[in-house]
Amino acid sequence: MQELKERIIAEGIVREGNVLKVDSFLNHQCDVTLYQHMGDAWAQHFADKKIDKILTVAASGIGISCVAALSFGGVPVVFARKAQSINLDGDQYTARVHSYTHGNDNTVIIAKRFLQPGEHVLLIDDFLANGAALDGLIEICRQADAVVEGIGIAVEKGFQSGGKRMRESGYDVCSLAIVKSMDVSTGKIEFA
């Protein structure tokens, strides 16, 4: 998606540890018009799929998913929360997720009543690197007997293993920008 790549080139900041900061438009400050265009792109890619629901993870996936859901006819979005919240029911699906960014483990949680057997689900997230967050969502879908129809990603780090692994597992992954390489010394970002 050209618009997203241009924004990454213009505003993305490369940091040590394979960190690409795009927080001026994607995951701290949110450009909701860009989100609409991202939703349109995913809706076009997954046009032949039946999508009942979008699943994502708090916090960065929520805004993108809620705006993108409008491009899918306003399907519901369910976001997995990290760690236990007393505001959630006891009747929950949970999965452990390792965060390479924060260097810790989290439990992601979805109330069972919001994911039904046989529901057709699109997973959306802002980044795909090692795929740990997606593993958690896929594990929850497996527990719920829901059908993962596809995976919509804003920025895939193509030099990390998650995307390759997901595609080899048979998932239809639509990444709107795939970073082939990035150089912390020059700040240069190249796309696949």
> Which tokens hold the place of 130?
């090692």
Two structure tokens written together for 19: 């960190």
- Part in contact with a second copy (CB under 8 A); list of ranges 58-66, 131-139, 140-148, 166-174: 58-66
Q: In one letter, which amino acid is 151?
A: I
Q: Does 105 bind a second copy (CB under 8 A)?
A: no
**DSSP state at residue 96:** E
Stretch that binds a second copy, among 2-10, 66-74, 155-163, 172-180 (CB under 8 A): 66-74
- Identity of the residue, 29 or 161, whose beta carbon is nearer to a second copy in the bound complex: 29
In the numeric block, the tokens 């960014």 are attached to 101
**Binding residue for a second copy, selected from 9, 40, 49, 58, defined by CB under 8 A:** 58
Q: How many CB atoms lie within 10 A of CB 159?
A: 15
Residue range at the interface with a second copy (CB under 8 A); choices 67-75, 133-141, 151-159, 171-179: 67-75
With contact defined as beta carbons under 8 Å apart, do 142 and 119 qualify? Answer: no
Per rule CB under 8 A, is residue 33 in the interface with a second copy?
Answer: yes
